[in-house]
Structure 1
Amino acid sequence: MYVLEGSTLGGQVIARQLAKANIPARAYFSGHAEQTGPLWKTFVGLLTQAATPANADAIVASASLTFQRLHAWLEQAQP
């Protein structure tokens, strides 16, 4: 969830750059629009509550695995 929810923050940056370039096709990157920041803070708060020393390694490993799987998926999609 960290990887996916965090990507909405990056999407906001991309959407702003597209807007500056006057490129209208940016809805995909807008994510939760004005709610992106508050929703991210809520998510981080919940993650902080759920994270313990006992599960910290599993949390990091799952985030890393998510990035690896997304990378593999994108590699497959290339012609």
Structure 2
Amino acid sequence: MVSEYLKQNTADLHDAAEKLFNSDKIFNRTFNFDDYKKIIRNNYLMLLNAENEIFENLSANFSEKLQLNERKKLPLIEKDLHNLSLENETPAQTVEISNQNEALGMMYVIEGSTLGGNVIAKQLSKTEGFENVTFNFFGCYQENTGSMWKNFKEVLDSEVKEENYDEVLSGAKKLYSLLLTFN
């Protein structure tokens, strides 16, 4: 299954992202607003530079099966930016997407960040100073997070043929690399 292949082959990039964003501080409740601003800004820049292109590279078949209209996150994270008094920016490093398989790999990174974001939102809501924060991006699917992730993985695993796994992995790596370039 391509979802397992991606998980195994992007583990080092996932760990690098957790380190960059001080994820350990989330769980020991020492994560602060500067840390939060950094993680929101980096995810915003990733989405700003990639989300529209990803969606444009997916066929109508995937649009329907993945309910793409419900998966748009840029407007949600822009609300978080506003709430944090951070400025909107213009795309500066749009990613090059070679094909639909790469777009799916990029979506894997975004959907995975949504899954992790749900955990982050729950943890931070218990952290002093975050009680009144609305987590628009991290809480985007609310109680449907599990079912949205499951749907994404099922579509990915049923639609991507084994000979295309490396293209999907290439897309995931491109998006992780983009996410990790913003400081």
TM-score, scaled to structure 1: 0.84
Alignment length (residue pairs): 74
* Structure 2 residue identity aligned to 1:35: N
Are 1:31 and 2:140 counterparts?
A: yes
**Structure with more relative contact order (C-alpha pairs < 8 Å, separation 6 or more):** 2
Name the CA distance, whole Å, in 1 between partners of 2:170 and 2:134.
Answer: 32
How far 1:26 moved relative to its partner?
Answer: 3.9
Moved over 4 A (4+): none
From 17, 20, 23, the counterpart of 2:126: 20
Q: Identity percentage over the alignment?
A: 38
Are 1:10 and 2:116 counterparts?
A: yes
SS at match of 2:163: coil
* Structure 2 residue identity aligned to 1:5: E
* Structure 1 residue identity aligned to 2:135: A
TM-score, scaled to structure 2: 0.38
In the alignment, structure 2 segments of 5+ residues that lack a partner are 1-106
Question: What pairs with 1:1-79 in structure 2 (closer than 5 Å)?
Answer: 1-22=107-128, 23=130, 24-28=132-136, 29-72=138-181, 74-75=182-183
Name the CA distance, whole Å, in 1 between partners of 2:125 and 2:108.
Answer: 26
In the alignment, structure 1 segments of 5+ residues that lack a partner are none
Name the CA distance, whole Å, in 2 between partners of 1:15 and 1:69.
Answer: 23
Contact 1:18 1:26 in 2 (8 A): no
Name the CA distance, whole Å, in 1 between partners of 2:121 and 2:161.
Answer: 35
